[in-house]
Amino acid sequence: MTWSEMQPLLSQACWDTFYMVGWSTLIAIVGGLPLGVLLVLTDRGGLLQNAYLNKVIGQVVNIVRSMPFIILMVALMGFTRAVVGTTIGREAAIVPLAIGAIPFFARLVETSVREVDGGLIEAVQSMGGNTWTVVRKVLVPESLPSLISATTTTIVALIGYSAMAGTVGAGGLGDIAIRYGYQRFEANLMWITVAILAVVISLIQFAGDSGARVLHRRAGKGGDPIRFNLFAGRTAVTATKSG
């Protein structure tokens, strides 16, 4: 296969992969961020301590995370068809990709939020801040560098998942590698696909790591005030991080 024949195939495959991964990442963040925060809040000693709810959510997250993606995708075919009307194509692949990524991202969020200094939380509570204020003004902003890294890890994982989704008709680079590289013995096309995936993943990892480092440096300067707007913005209290 010549380059002129490969180029339109690879262009469409790259667009399909970015489309699937982009939408799946967005859904994973929207669903996984509150889920991860809720796991922390409902845990023992949390602001919304609820052992039963925490256990139920934790078990659901663990079950979905433990399933190999290819099996999860097959198991969700009925649900996928009900949502998008088909089980083939990039739109159909977004459903299992997002469902698989939400608990994955939620656990990463949980780990990131647990690293927040408890003293800041106590300071906001002593100033009259409620749970929503703590989440919005302390937990999320303070864990932002780790959340950037978590998002990067999730995107990289989703790129791998999308390649597997290509084996069952989802399209994308995985589909090209299997259909042309493996089934039709077009080794050149397969290795080009592998190279594209490697470059894309490296760029995403570099961008994510750079963003996290920038936020860490800003947070590590010390003396920067953390402003908490309490009581629906009517009262502003400034607390300065120590150390």
Going by C-alpha positions, the residue among 123, 117, 122 that lies closest to residue 143 is 117
Confidence (pLDDT) at 42: 94
The pLDDT of residue 225 is above 60: no
Confidence (pLDDT) at 25: 96
What does the buried/exposed string (b/e) look like for 201-227 if buried means 16 or more CB atoms within 10 Å of the residue's CB? Answer: eeebeeebeebbeebeeeeeeeeeebe
Confidence (pLDDT) at 219: 64
**Gap between the Cα atoms of 100 and 96, Å rounded:** 6
Structural domain span for residue 21: 3-240
> Is 49 or 243 the better-scoring residue by pLDDT?
49
Averaged pLDDT for residues 51-79 = 92
Confidence of residue 200 (pLDDT cuts 50, 70, 90): very high
Q: What is the CATH number of the domain that holds 141?
A: 1.10.3720.10
The pLDDT of residue 61 is above 80: yes
Confidence (pLDDT) at 234: 37
Cα Rg, the chain, nearest whole Å: 21
> Is 223 or 198 the better-scoring residue by pLDDT?
198
Confidence (pLDDT) at 220: 59
Confidence (pLDDT) at 164: 84
The CA distances from residue 61 to 26, 35, 95, in Å, are 18, 9, 16
Residue identified by tokens 């780790």 is: 146
Which 8-state DSSP code applies to residue 230? E
The pLDDT of residue 243 is above 60: no
pLDDT mean across residues, the chain? 85
Confidence (pLDDT) at 117: 84
- Residue 226 pairs in a beta bridge with 239
The percent of residues above 90 in pLDDT, for the chain, comes to 47
**Gap between the Cα atoms of 117 and 143, Å rounded:** 10
Averaged pLDDT for residues 155-181 = 84
Confidence (pLDDT) at 146: 93
The pLDDT of residue 239 is above 50: no
> Is 20 or 183 the better-scoring residue by pLDDT?
20
Provide the domain count of the chain.
1
Side-chain half-sphere exposure of 33, counting CA atoms within 13 A:
16
The percent of residues above 70 in pLDDT, for the chain, comes to 89
Averaged pLDDT for residues 43-56 = 91
Confidence of residue 50 (pLDDT cuts 50, 70, 90): very high
